[in-house]
Amino acid sequence: MTDLRARRTAVLAAAAKAKSEAKAHAADQAIRRLVRRGEPVTFQAVQREAGVSHAFLYGNPELRERIERLRAQARLKPAPPADGTSDNTIIQALTSQISHLKKQHRDQTQALHAALEQAHGENLQLRRELARLGWTGQAATT
């Protein structure tokens, strides 16, 4: 019976060790992804990214030291200068907005020209009608 108990304990210990190593690997990969994306490495970010508990991260001395070191480095680093991609994005957005406004202006101008032509035509028609009726364009005096 003791031999069976020892084997079960050994199997459980091996399973627990494998699970812990898998979690440590997941946390390591999460840290690498965060660094690659330029995101801050914090216990919460690693926990969320790796799907492990805060207790696991704080309980693992190597992971804890690494996260604390990366977090401290991020605090010491000055903010990175704005890169060209954000400028390009802004330029593209503004260029698109200007193009849209230019098109809107052209459409409105064409509509106004059409309305003005119609008003001139109606005005001409009314003048002709008044001339046919004998109106001379002078106001009556009393």
pLDDT (tens digit, 9 = 90+) per residue, 8-32?
888 889 998 999 999 999 999 999 9
Q: How confident is the model at residue 84 (pLDDT cuts 50, 70, 90)?
A: low
Give the side-chain half-sphere CA count within 13 A for 2: 0
pLDDT (tens digit, 9 = 90+) per residue, 110-136?
999 999 999 999 999 999 999 999 887
| Domain extent listing, the chain | 2-76, 96-133
Q: What is the dihedral of CA 19, 22, 28, 30, to 10 degrees?
A: -100
Q: Which structure tokens are listed for 9? A: 């304990």
Q: Which structure tokens are listed for 97? A: 């907005």
